[in-house]
Amino acid sequence: MLARPHQIARVFCDQRRRRIGLFGGSFNPAHDGHALLADMAVQQLRLDELWWLVSPQNPLKSSKDMASLTDRFESALKQAHACQFAKRMRISNLENQFGLRHSVLTVKRIKRHCRKARLIWVMGADNLVHFHRWHRPDAIPRTMAMAVINRPGHVASALSSRGAKRAGNRIAPARLAARGYPARHWSFLRGAMNPQSASAIRAARKTQVKTS
């Protein structure tokens, strides 16, 4: 991990009682939409910290258009610095450091070593639509609570998805936070939506290269 303000310092030795959100993704690249989701999670879930977990390679995505881990990490760092709650953001490549490819292994590793922390998995509504395709998806809500944040064009499909059924009992964000993020419970966070997407950004970059 890099020696910067957003570094997770001694992540498995810090036993403070904190409310921590785990925000996993490829961030290929990270963009304003990710920053908006991050701020919403901190505010509505009353988080002390939000960890952006930059994945070395999402098993469900092609590596063909995947930027380097360094570039994606840097883009996440830049967006985190621009957040309203920048001081609560932490950027990590711990999945790469520990050779973890699946989110379920990541959440179990963190929970095992951060025993005093209150943990919650955070993701966009577009990811909940495909949640049933993840590796051992049922194990994640059994391990910790989940928070799903609205994304343009995915609200209805997320709420009616197979992933929503697997996530457990849905309760309001304030109630979830007040109860300390119990496992087998999840919340749907609503708020302003940013239409940006990583795929659209990559497509625009390709067009610029072709026309230059």
Residue 55 pLDDT greater than 50, yes or no: yes
Average pLDDT estimate for 149-164: 95
CA–CA distance, 129 with 106 (Å, rounded to integer): 20
Tell me which fold the domain 19-211 belongs to: Rossmann fold (3.40.50)
For all residues of the chain together, what is the average pLDDT? 88
* Residue 202 structure tokens: 């990559």
pTM: 0.88
With a CB cutoff of 8 Å and minimum separation 6, the contacts of 194 are 31, 32, 33, 36, 152
pLDDT given for residue 4 in this prediction = 45
pLDDT digits (tens, 9 = 90+) for 88-120: 999 998 888 888 889 999 999 999 888 889 999
pLDDT given for residue 1 in this prediction = 37
What are the sequence ranges of the domains in the chain? 19-211
Residue 148 pLDDT greater than 80, yes or no: yes
pLDDT given for residue 7 in this prediction = 46
* Residue 160 structure tokens: 């009616």
Q: 48 vs 15, 35, 41, 66, 155, CA distance in Å? A: 14, 16, 10, 31, 27
Residue predicted with more confidence, 96 or 8: 96
pLDDT digits (tens, 9 = 90+) for 176-187: 999 999 999 999
